[in-house]
Amino acid sequence: MSNVKIETLTPVHIGSGNLLYYNTDFVKVNINKEPHIAVISEEKIWQLLGEQHLDKWIAAIARRENLKEFLKRFAPEAKSKDYARRRMPVHCEVNENDTLKECLHNGMGLPYIPGSSIKGAIRTALLASLANTISDKETKIIERDRRGNLQIEATAIEKELFGNDPNSDVFRFIQVGDAYFQKETEIATRLINLNIRKNEDSLQDASKPQIVEAIGTEATSEFQLKISGQHHDFVKRHYRQLGNLPTSSISDLFLLINDHTRQLTQDEINYWSEIEKPGGDYYIEEMQKILDEINQCTAGTSCVIRIGHASGWRFITGAWPEAMRNFKEVIIPAARPNNRNYTEYDFPKTRRLDEDSFFLGFVKLTLTE
């Protein structure tokens, strides 16, 4: 079992599935004259109000009353720490109808990145690197649902590469632990979309902004990573057709991951360098910073990978379907519902950044032993 340091190069959002509402689930406060969001603790408010005022609190929620003003009537001395589960800097304006996508926390209130998210990103990198060894991908990737509608699924290709079922999947020998970060490493930031339209100069689309809670930049943690000793023998017995599957050591994995992320990042820079529209320059600048981090990694010891919300289609899928012959005719229409309404857009049409021009999801992994 190896210890791996994980550092956030950009904010990372792994969602809890909860959507928090302004003035009900969170409020805006000032701490040392800096704007923060305070996520409400129902237990703390209960202690402040007491049972005798419970009905008034419920009525205030129904009216969407300003929660801070409500609390002043019953607990005038209360500070945000007295009624908040956690507080975090907010890097955007907060409006009356805003909601906040909550990030994942454990029972102790620590924000964390699950091992399953890290393992899924590793699996995607490996899939993208090996996909060219699979013949007839154009047919194998196509499935039909019960109504006969076309669907694009990588299941058949994953089974051919990694194993037909969970018992034969090579990834069962790769164990990835959770990465727990310290409290108060969270931030709140608003995501914006960059949409590439052929007939418009503007790239920014603020029509559907969303505030998300994320683990902030330069936060660090550690998790455990292990490739079981049974793995190599298992690969030899079952995967001779692939030769040496590049997962025999953590160093092999890190080399593959870094090459994979480098290629996707360089592809983004190349693509955006041809988009001569206002707003594209800072996208290239920020992506170039990520590429510099990738190139500075020590071979086999550290790597950069992208995980979590707002990573974008190319990083989520690994972008390997782009090399397929039926990518434009079959895969794009299946991946983008109502594709005929988006003929003026490239594919993928959207990249998401926060208002400080940060991407989400880039982390650096470093072996510490």
Tokens describing residue 334: 């299946």
**Within-domain flag for 290:** yes
**Domain assignment of residue 66, yes or no:** no
Predicted pLDDT of residue 36: 96
CB 76 within 8 A of CB 82: no
CA dist., res. 266 & res. 260, Å (int): 10
Residue 262 maps to a domain? yes
Q: Is the pLDDT of residue 238 over 50?
A: no
Indicate whether 267 pLDDT > 80.
Answer: yes
Confidence check: pLDDT of 166 > 50 = yes
Residue 136: which domain range? 2-9+115-179+230-367
Does 353 fall in a domain? yes
Q: Specify the number of domains making up the chain.
A: 1
Six-digit token string for 213:
């809670």
Section 19-48 average pLDDT:
92
Residue 350 located in a structural domain: yes
Taking the model in full, what pTM does it have? 0.89
45 pLDDT exceeds 60? Answer: yes
Domain assignment present for residue 192? The answer is no
Q: pLDDT (tens digit, 9 = 90+) per residue, 279-328? A: 678 888 999 999 999 999 999 999 999 999 999 989 999 999 888 888 88
116: enclosing H helix or E strand: helix 115-130
Rounded to whole angstroms, the Cα distance separating 269 from 282 reads 11
Spell out the residues 6+ positions from residue 99 whose beta carbon is closer than 8 angstroms to its own: 19, 20, 21, 22, 210, 211
| For the chain, percent of residues with pLDDT exceeding 70 | 89
